Amino acid sequence: MIRHFRASLMILLSLSLILAFFWGLLSGSVGLSPRELYRAFLFLFNPQGEDTAALILFEIRLPRLILAVAVGASLSVSGAAFQGIFRNSLADPYVIGASSGAALGAALAITMGFSLPGSLSPVSLCAFAGALGAVCLAFGIARSVGNPPPAAALLLAGSALGAFFSALLSLILVLKDRDLYRVYYWLLGSLNGASWAELPAILPVMLLGCVLVFLGCRPLDLLLQGEEVAESLGIDVPRVRGFIALGASLAAAAAVSAAGIIGFVGLIAPHAARMITGPVHKRLLPASALLGALLVVLADIAARSLGTMEFPIGIITSLGGAPFFIYLLARHGRRLGQF
């Protein structure tokens, strides 16, 4: 009975995501009717002349929504993985410094005017390099405590690096104040720059990170029972933790490089998914991915539909995510601390 109920909820989540995706194709500052949507699809197979609806649909909204799904799923899977390996219900995709490293990399690219041949964005590339660099530094610092590094040392190293990179970012913004608005807008998160040219470079990294996390489903389940239990069952805890953290960091770094820092998705979606599926990761991770994708798609629709100007998507997710998390804490506080 419970299995059928969970399966029904997963189907409902999938259908909700599909409906939200099509709603996103129609919504925006320039609304499209279902008839225009149908005509745009016909134009795709029989292009004659120019069709404004087809241009808006296939060149602007479709890549943007594909990126929204990928970013939401990656952040949520990454958040669920970090919550599992650290056994900390407040862990999120940025817990070991990925967001601060990405912010510093993006700020350097914007203020220094970096350029690259081709269509790949230098801001995205520098943000990705900054995020991965921060994670590698966190692992390197934590190894001074033990090799492989223990969880507590990794968390503390990530926190220290986050504070250090944030200070460097503030220094850059003070010295390069003419670029303050561009950097600040990137930090708030946006899918405005999504294009077909960048998706092939970003999506495979997100997919690779998520696959690495999914391969660690069984070790994650054992880690929830405690490190001693996991080790008694043959799990090399430090190495498994590093492997899963690598996958989660890749997914988070690619998501941040593509869309900026989008808060609360990687924290809220795993919590909500856990209430639907329970703590078993082979069910939790797909549910988290679906919920995260749905949240980012809905937030993107709201960001470009609520007013005459487009709002940064990070504002929308924070405005909705913070009250929802407070509700979860008040309603299910004891359960949130359990895995």
Between 64 and 4, name the one with better pLDDT.
Answer: 64
pLDDT digits (tens, 9 = 90+) for 263-278: 899 999 998 898 888 8
Q: Is the dihedral of CA 188, 192, 195, 199 positive or negative?
A: positive
CATH 3.30.70.1520 assigned to domain 27-336? The reply is no
Q: How high is the pLDDT of residue 201?
A: 87
Q: What was the pLDDT predicted at 144?
A: 80
Extents of the domains making up the chain? 27-336
Q: Percent of the chain beyond pLDDT 90?
A: 34
Judge whether residue 154 has pLDDT over 80. Answer: yes
Query: Does residue 334 have a pLDDT over 60?
Result: no
268-272, 274-278, 280-284, 294-298: which range is least confident on average?
A: 274-278
pLDDT, mean of residues 16-29: 88
C-alpha to C-alpha distances, 159 to 88, 126, 145, 256, 288, nearest whole angstrom: 14, 21, 16, 18, 25
Q: CA nearest 148: which of 281, 250, 245?
A: 245
- For the segment 235-257, the average pLDDT, to the nearest whole number, is 89
Q: What is the pLDDT of residue 326?
A: 80
Q: Is the CB of residue 268 less than 8 Å from the CB of residue 324? A: yes
Angular region, 190: left φ>0, alpha ψ -120 to 50, beta rest? beta
Spatial separation of the C-alpha atoms in residues 270 and 253, rounded to whole Å? 18
Q: How many CB atoms lie within 10 A of CB 308?
A: 5
What lies within 8 Å, CB to CB, of 148 at 6+ separation is 238, 239, 241, 242
Residues 120 and 129: their CA atoms lie apart, in Å, by 14
Regarding predicted confidence, which is higher, 81 or 88? 81
Residue 99 to residue 32: CA distance in whole angstroms: 35
- Give the model confidence (pLDDT) of 85-119 as tens digits: 888 877 889 888 888 999 999 999 988 877 766 56
Structure tokens at 100: 């601060």
> To the nearest whole number, what is the mean pLDDT of the chain?
85
Angle between helices 98-112 and 151-175 (to 10 degrees): 20
